[in-house]
């Protein structure tokens, strides 16, 4: 059934004050006087309508919070020191292995609902806190179940090369061998949409990541990379070499990496929550990314260690205040460019005919308010696949 949404405004399209959706798809945008062939009308009370928000980088399925590490860092310990002492990702791996499917599902669902309530209609969720076959499978199955149960589109990313599990201590190459054996199995069970890795001095080398990417390519799976977060490793250029959908974090990215990403069409995913929580002082090279026209996305990086963030709009604020993005760039970062970072730019992230009818109608005076308010809820109505959330 076709629905006319009217009495609305769209950023950058001053002549549009009405949208027609047909089932889960946008059919038409234009001036209300030209609207034809619809069965029901929905008055949006002069709202500003944006595409549904896209959170293209999260780790929101995990076993337990790590608030005590927050405390340790305030006392002066670094993220790398805590990781090397057995905390960090390894601590979450242990908790995630011990958790049941049901408890992982329930805690992740509560977090995901908070993102949804903030206007998110598409989210990427990574595995990577299991690091053995049953636990990675458990995480990925939880992700698939969330997608079935909740009104949100979910992409599942396998992040097996996240940290070296204790069983493989001092044997990273043997661990990568194992990762390359297990990826085809998980893929055959239709549990993964993309492959990610953590390229860092406390994680995996570019050569090890390249082995994982070779394996992903054989499976025709797109790749993404946690790159240049704590140091310059050449991860941006490596991601570009594999035509990665995105390279994420990027605080230490250099000009050669930016140029390579521009050439490959790899999106730069900015994660200001992790930058903020780790009290980093070196920001990603925003001017270079602009200069080379690398599309910039913004994501929550929702995870228990470095970014316990449940508001993508707060991340938009931080991208503006900490990284100096404009509100328009921030909006593109959680819509069009977020979609591109997930390989979904042909179907979602824009208000245009043929695109997903995922939209948010915000009751605000100025679109910059999406970035301006610090947290809290903005009055809005979320439309997912053409259906408005129950009030
Ligand atoms: O994106 N950089 C690695 N992965 C996560 C942190 C995971 C953790 O500390 O639990 C990130 O920041
Ligand atoms: Fe991450």
Question: What CATH number is attached to the domain comprising 256?
Answer: 3.20.20.140
Phi/psi-derived region of residue 385, left when phi > 0, alpha when psi is between -120 and 50, beta in every other case: left
Question: Are 263 and 376 found together in one domain?
Answer: no
Q: Look up the domain containing 317 and give its range.
A: 53-341
pLDDT tens digit sequence for 209-234: 999 999 999 999 999 999 999 999 99
Residue 335 corresponds to which tokens in the numbers above?
């819509």
Question: Are 294 and 337 found together in one domain?
Answer: yes
Phi/psi-derived region of residue 153, left when phi > 0, alpha when psi is between -120 and 50, beta in every other case: beta
Cβ contact 255:64 at 8 Å: no
What's the pLDDT score for residue 390?
Answer: 81
Secondary structure in 3-state letters for 87-116: CCHHHHHHHHHHCCHHHHHHHHHHHHHHHH
Question: Are 247 and 378 found together in one domain?
Answer: no
57 is an annotated ligand-binding site residue: yes
Query: Which ligand sits closest to the CA of 273?
Result: 1
Residue at which a domain ends, from 341, 359, 378: 341
Average pLDDT of the chain, as a whole number = 97
Whether 89 is in the pocket of ligand 1, judged by its Cβ within 6 Å, is yes
Question: Are 361 and 329 found together in one domain?
Answer: no
Neighbours of 63 (CB within 10 A): 23
Residue 229 alpha carbon, nearest atom of ligand 1: 2
Q: Which residues of 229-238 are buried (b: 16+ CB within 10 A; e: fewer)?
A: bbeebbbbbb
Residue 307 alpha carbon, nearest atom of ligand 1: 12
Question: Are 269 and 310 found together in one domain?
Answer: yes
Residue 178 corresponds to which tokens in the numbers above?
């194992």
Q: Which residues surround ligand 2, an ion (CB under 5 A)?
A: 301
Write down the H helix ranges in the chain.
67-74, 79-84, 89-98, 101-117, 133-149, 172-188, 206-218, 235-241, 255-264, 272-277, 286-291, 312-323, 327-333, 336-341, 369-372
Task: Give the pLDDT mean for 374-385.
Answer: 94
pLDDT tens digit sequence for 341-368: 999 999 999 999 999 999 999 999 999 9
Which of 301, 302, 304, 341 has the most ligand 1 atoms within 8 A of CB, as the residue to mutate? 301
Residue 15 belongs to domain with CATH number: 2.30.40.10
Question: Are 182 and 137 found together in one domain?
Answer: yes
pLDDT tens digit sequence for 241-290: 999 999 999 999 999 999 999 999 999 999 999 999 999 999 999 999 99
Per-residue pLDDT at 132 exceeds 80: yes
- At residue 158, the 3 state secondary structure works out as strand
Residue 66 alpha carbon, nearest atom of ligand 1: 10
66 is an annotated ligand-binding site residue: yes
What's the pLDDT score for residue 134?
Answer: 98
Task: Give the pLDDT mean for 175-185.
Answer: 98
CA angle 378, 383, 388 (to 5 degrees): 100
What's the pLDDT score for residue 242?
Answer: 98
Please state the domain count of the chain. 2
Q: Which residues of 127-163 are buried (b: 16+ CB within 10 A; e: fewer)?
A: bbbbbbeebbbbbbbbbbbbbeebebbbbbbbbbbbb
The DSSP code for 33 is G
Query: How close is the Cα of 61 to the center of ligand 2, in Å?
Result: 12
Residue at which a domain ends, from 302, 324, 341: 341
Q: What is d(CA 294, CA 87) in angstroms, rounded to the nearest whole number?
A: 35
Q: What is d(CA 271, CA 234) in angstroms, rounded to the nearest whole number?
A: 18
Q: What is d(CA 224, CA 101) in angstroms, rounded to the nearest whole number?
A: 26
Nearest-CA neighbor of 48 among 362, 305, 329, 270?
Answer: 362
Task: Give the pLDDT mean for 290-316.
Answer: 98
Question: Are 314 and 179 found together in one domain?
Answer: yes
pLDDT tens digit sequence for 64-107: 999 999 999 999 999 999 988 889 999 999 999 999 999 999 99
Q: What is the pTM of this model?
A: 0.98
Question: Are 11 and 158 found together in one domain?
Answer: no
Residue 28 corresponds to which tokens in the numbers above?
């038409």
Query: How close is the Cα of 83 to the center of ligand 2, in Å?
Result: 15
Residue 53 corresponds to which tokens in the numbers above?
């928000």
What's the pLDDT score for residue 322?
Answer: 98
Q: What are phi and psi of 358, to 5 degrees?
A: -110, 115
What's the pLDDT score for residue 220?
Answer: 98
User: Atom 12 in ligand 1: which residue has the minimum CA distance?
Assistant: 306
pLDDT band for position 391 (cuts 50, 70, 90): low
Q: What is d(CA 200, CA 197) in angstroms, rounded to the nearest whole number?
A: 10
- At residue 195, the 3 state secondary structure works out as strand
Residue at which a domain ends, from 304, 322, 341: 341
Query: How close is the Cα of 160 to the center of ligand 1, in Å?
Result: 13
Question: Are 8 and 38 found together in one domain?
Answer: yes
Query: Which ligand sits closest to the CA of 278?
Result: 1
Maximal C-alpha separation, the chain: 69
Nearest-CA neighbor of 219 among 179, 257, 251?
Answer: 179
Q: What is d(CA 332, CA 316) in angstroms, rounded to the nearest whole number?
A: 10
What's the pLDDT score for residue 84?
Answer: 86
Question: Are 40 and 134 found together in one domain?
Answer: no
Question: Are 30 and 135 found together in one domain?
Answer: no
Question: Are 168 and 274 found together in one domain?
Answer: yes
229 is an annotated ligand-binding site residue: yes
Distances (CA, A) of 131 to 97, 151, 178, 192: 9, 29, 10, 15
Which of 56, 85, 250, 274 has the most ligand 1 atoms within 8 A of CB, as the residue to mutate? 274
């Amino acid at each position: 059934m076709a629905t006319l949404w009217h009495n609305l405004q769209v950023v950058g399209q001053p002549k549009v004050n009405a949208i027609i959706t047909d089932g889960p798809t946008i059919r038409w945008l234009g001036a209300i006087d030209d609207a034809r062939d619809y069965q029901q009308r929905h008055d949006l009370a002069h709202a500003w309508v944006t595409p549904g928000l896209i959170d293209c980088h999260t780790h929101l399925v995990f076993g337990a919070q790590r608030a005590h590490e927050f405390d340790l860092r305030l006392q002066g310990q670094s993220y790398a020191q805590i990781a090397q002492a057995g905390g960090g990702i390894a601590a979450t791996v242990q908790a995630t292995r011990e958790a049941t499917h049901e408890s992982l599902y329930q805690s992740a669902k509560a977090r995901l609902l908070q993102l949804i309530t903030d206007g998110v209609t598409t989210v990427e969720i990574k595995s990577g806190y299991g690091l053995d076959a049953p636990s990675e499978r458990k995480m990925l199955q939880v992700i698939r179940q969330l997608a079935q149960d909740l009104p949100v589109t979910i992409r599942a990313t396998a992040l097996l090369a996240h940290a070296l599990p204790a069983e493989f201590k001092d044997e990273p190459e043997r661990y990568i061998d194992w990762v390359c054996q297990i990826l085809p199995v998980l893929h055959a069970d239709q549990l993964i949409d993309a492959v990610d890795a953590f390229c860092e001095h406390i994680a995996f080398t570019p050569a090890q990541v390249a082995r994982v990417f070779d394996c992903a390519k054989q499976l025709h799976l797109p790749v993404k990379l946690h790159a240049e977060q704590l140091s310059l490793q050449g991860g941006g250029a490596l991601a570009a070499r594999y035509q990665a959908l995105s390279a994420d974090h990027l605080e230490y990215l250099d000009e050669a990496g930016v140029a390579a990403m521009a050439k490959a069409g790899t999106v730069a995913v900015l994660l200001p929550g992790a930058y903020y929580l780790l009290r980093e002082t070196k920001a990603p090279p925003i001017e270079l990314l602009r200069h080379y026209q690398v599309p910039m996305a913004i994501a929550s990086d929702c995870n228990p260690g470095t970014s316990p963030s449940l508001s993508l709009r707060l991340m938009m604020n931080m991208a503006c205040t900490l990284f100096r993005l404009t509100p328009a760039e921030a909006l593109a970062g959680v819509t069009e460019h977020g979609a591109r970072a997930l390989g979904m730019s042909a179907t979602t992230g824009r208000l245009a005919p043929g695109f997903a009818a995922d939209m948010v109608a915000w009751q605000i005076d100025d679109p910059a308010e999406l970035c301006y308010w610090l947290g809290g809820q903005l009055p809005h109505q979320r439309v997912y696949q053409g259906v408005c959330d129950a009030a």
